[in-house]
Copies of this chain bind each other. A is one copy, B any other.
Amino acid sequence: MTQPATPEFLDRLDAALPPGMLRDRRPGELEDPRGRYHGQAAAIACPKTVEEVATVVRLCHEAGVGIVPLGGGTGLVLGQIAYEGPAPVVLSLERMTHIRAVYPQENMIVAEAGAILADVQNAAEEAGRLFPLSLGAEGTCRIGGNLSTNAGGLNVLRYGNARELCLGIEAVLPDGQIFHGLKRLRKDNTGYDIRNLLIGAEGTLGVITAAALRLFPRPERTAAAILVVPSPAAALELLNMAQGIAGEGISAFELISGMGLEFLAETVPDIRQPFETRPEWCVFMDLGVSGASDPDEMLATLFERAFEAGLVSDGVIAQSEAQRQEFWTLRETIPEGNKRIGSISSHDISIPLSRIAAFIPEGIERLSELGDVRVNAFGHLGDGNLHYNVFPAKGRDRSEYENIRAEVKRVVHDLVAEYDGSFSAEHGVGRLKAEDLERYGDPAKLSAMRAIKAALDPKGIMNPGAVLRG
A353 interface residue per 8 A CB criterion = yes
Interface centre among A164, A247, A350, A380 (most CB of B within 10 A): A247
Q: Collect the chain B residues with CB atoms within 8 Å of residue A161's CB.
A: 187
Tell whether, in the assembled complex, residue A191 and residue B385 are in contact, meaning their CB atoms are under 8 Å apart.
Answer: no
How many A residues touch B, CB cutoff 8 Å? 100
Tell whether, in the assembled complex, residue A177 and residue B294 are in contact, meaning their CB atoms are under 8 Å apart.
Answer: no
Tell whether, in the assembled complex, residue A246 and residue B290 are in contact, meaning their CB atoms are under 8 Å apart.
Answer: yes
Of B156, B183, B193, B447, the residue contacting A186 (CB under 8 A) is: B156
Interface residues of A in 240-254 (CB under 8 A from B): 240, 243-249
Q: Collect the chain B residues with CB atoms within 8 Å of residue A244's CB.
A: 217, 220, 290-291
Interface centre among A108, A163, A448, A468 (most CB of B within 10 A): A448
Q: Collect the chain B residues with CB atoms within 8 Å of residue A442's CB.
A: 179-181
Tell whether, in the assembled complex, residue A189 and residue B429 are in contact, meaning their CB atoms are under 8 Å apart.
Answer: yes
A150 interface residue per 8 A CB criterion = yes
- In the bound assembly, the distance between CA atoms of A394 and B115 in angstroms comes to 54
A424 interface residue per 8 A CB criterion = yes
Tell whether, in the assembled complex, residue B452 and residue A188 are in contact, meaning their CB atoms are under 8 Å apart.
Answer: no
Q: Interface with B: A13-21, A32-40, A199-207, A309-317, which one?
A: A199-207
A330 interface residue per 8 A CB criterion = no
**Residue interface bits A378-413, CB-to-B below 8 A is 1, else 0:** 001001110000000000000000000000000000
Tell whether, in the assembled complex, residue B189 and residue A427 are in contact, meaning their CB atoms are under 8 Å apart.
Answer: yes
Of B187, B237, B444, the residue contacting A422 (CB under 8 A) is: B187
- In the bound assembly, the distance between CA atoms of A150 and B423 in angstroms comes to 28
Q: State the number of copies, please.
A: 2
Of B217, B354, B384, B421, the residue contacting A247 (CB under 8 A) is: B217
- In the bound assembly, the distance between CA atoms of A292 and B449 in angstroms comes to 46
- In the bound assembly, the distance between CA atoms of A160 and B173 in angstroms comes to 28
Tell whether, in the assembled complex, residue A189 and residue B178 are in contact, meaning their CB atoms are under 8 Å apart.
Answer: no
Q: Collect the chain B residues with CB atoms within 8 Å of residue A352's CB.
A: 103, 106, 108, 184-185
A437 interface residue per 8 A CB criterion = yes
A303 → chain B closest CB, angstroms: 13
A455 interface residue per 8 A CB criterion = yes
- In the bound assembly, the distance between CA atoms of A194 and B451 in angstroms comes to 12
Q: Collect the chain B residues with CB atoms within 8 Å of residue A290's CB.
A: 243-247, 249
Tell whether, in the assembled complex, residue B354 and residue A424 are in contact, meaning their CB atoms are under 8 Å apart.
Answer: no
A91 interface residue per 8 A CB criterion = no
* Top 4 A-B pairs, shortest CB-CB distance: A455-B455, A247-B290, A177-B444, A188-B422
A428 interface residue per 8 A CB criterion = yes
- In the bound assembly, the distance between CA atoms of A66 and B414 in angstroms comes to 40
A323 interface residue per 8 A CB criterion = no
Tell whether, in the assembled complex, residue A187 and residue B297 are in contact, meaning their CB atoms are under 8 Å apart.
Answer: no
A213 → chain B closest CB, angstroms: 14
Tell whether, in the assembled complex, residue B205 and residue A192 are in contact, meaning their CB atoms are under 8 Å apart.
Answer: yes
Tell whether, in the assembled complex, residue A186 and residue B384 are in contact, meaning their CB atoms are under 8 Å apart.
Answer: yes
A178 → chain B closest CB, angstroms: 6
A296 → chain B closest CB, angstroms: 11
**Residue interface bits A29-69, CB-to-B below 8 A is 1, else 0:** 00000000000000000000000000000000000000000
Tell whether, in the assembled complex, residue A448 and residue B456 are in contact, meaning their CB atoms are under 8 Å apart.
Answer: yes
- In the bound assembly, the distance between CA atoms of A421 and B351 in angstroms comes to 39
- In the bound assembly, the distance between CA atoms of A293 and B453 in angstroms comes to 49
User: Known: A186-B156, A191-B467. Is A444-B196 also a contact (CB below 8 A)?
Assistant: no
Tell whether, in the assembled complex, residue B294 and residue A384 are in contact, meaning their CB atoms are under 8 Å apart.
Answer: no
- In the bound assembly, the distance between CA atoms of A18 and B454 in angstroms comes to 37
- In the bound assembly, the distance between CA atoms of A289 and B105 in angstroms comes to 23
Tell whether, in the assembled complex, residue A298 and residue B294 are in contact, meaning their CB atoms are under 8 Å apart.
Answer: no
- In the bound assembly, the distance between CA atoms of A119 and B197 in angstroms comes to 31
- In the bound assembly, the distance between CA atoms of A456 and B298 in angstroms comes to 51
Q: Collect the chain B residues with CB atoms within 8 Å of residue A236's CB.
A: 105
A361 interface residue per 8 A CB criterion = no
Interface residues of A in 425-451 (CB under 8 A from B): 425-429, 433, 436-437, 440-449, 451
Tell whether, in the assembled complex, residue A194 and residue B448 are in contact, meaning their CB atoms are under 8 Å apart.
Answer: yes
Tell whether, in the assembled complex, residue B456 and residue A178 are in contact, meaning their CB atoms are under 8 Å apart.
Answer: no
A169 → chain B closest CB, angstroms: 11
**Residue interface bits A128-171, CB-to-B below 8 A is 1, else 0:** 00000000000000000000011010001100110110000000
